[in-house]
Structure 1
């Protein structure tokens, strides 16, 4: 009858382990409904909290650097040479955005003609809308446009004419408003950025975990024959956003 006693002991052990699993699942359900305040943080939560604090601190450190960089970029943009196809803006036009057409034969910049101070007429300053200063806003900008001379031009001479910079403006005498250049037409080339020892910023992850095992209960608990069942869990991890070098799982 020894085999019966052995069978009975394993049956009791299996039943006892099932009760432990049920108790743990009940605790997990209660934990899920417990407010964050008052919870005792797990090691994973404490680690995640430290990471969040580090990321927030790095973001604050980077803010003044980013603002300074923005001002530098803005200053550099304003000094860019203007080329054919640059974007213009007139606040009195019903279609405020216009295009600068370089008609004067000049050397090219980025394979397009470089703009100079001679581009002052409606054939160069192209707006498709009507001037709101005209009666009932009925007159096309091209028909009423009268301009002065370009201001804030560059020191560089192109064909003995002052070059236009993105900061340059020209007064429309009819509407008494400045026509501005909002985009030089140049394509910005990416610069090499050194990332060594750079602070870590917030990263977005899109991790999806799919369990490939059809059944992983009872998770390593011996069966009636004393053999371990489903001692491991097989799953697949897919990441679609930021690059991940290391993953740590807490179960």
Structure 2
């Protein structure tokens, strides 16, 4: 993907645009003659225009970042590293794992710095290799997310509410990306299907709906078990079950780890 000049500006300055807009509003207000403020509602007009412009600007910035996440090339060596970790994967397999990792980055962007857990060991391995190359990874985070995304290991559903909230966000946004109903899934989104599809050792296996299928293991194991997409919405786990930790969730919010943004994987 070759970004236009405008897109490069948005990617570089996107996180600062709201602040710049507010500064511009202050300057504009300061330039209004004092007598004009006696006119009824002038300040409300200025405030309304500012709020509308900020909303439009925010949507525009997110749209550009989403396009970047979907289309910008990742370093070519990552797929080679992935095949070294999992020699049975072919070129097409590695491309699908990369697509799954992009789904995860999209979930992080859409969750607005709330914690998002990584549900796939295969995508996690690719992510881990990426973060080891700090300069390239820092540039990607700046462009794709507007903040540095720290890495923590993949994890499946368990007893820890915070991690379950993070997995619900991953589930919710991965489903939305593929137009799947997250409450009644007919199939798995790619990010949650990777480990079973490619028989990843110690990976996490999911089924879209386990209503009529007995659990093969206790939720919260260390891998190798089968987990259910419908478990994200049945309320059996504490956390933001009602909205899957989606856009409107209060969730755990805030930052995670070293202050580089709240989105991360599901490890300890």
Shared topology, TM-score over 0.5? no
TM, length-normalised to structure 1: 0.22
Question: Which has the greater radius of gyration?
Answer: 1
Q: Which has the higher strand share?
A: 1
Which structure would you say has the larger RCO, counting Cα contacts within 8 Å and 6 or more residues apart?
2
Q: Which has the higher helix share?
A: 2
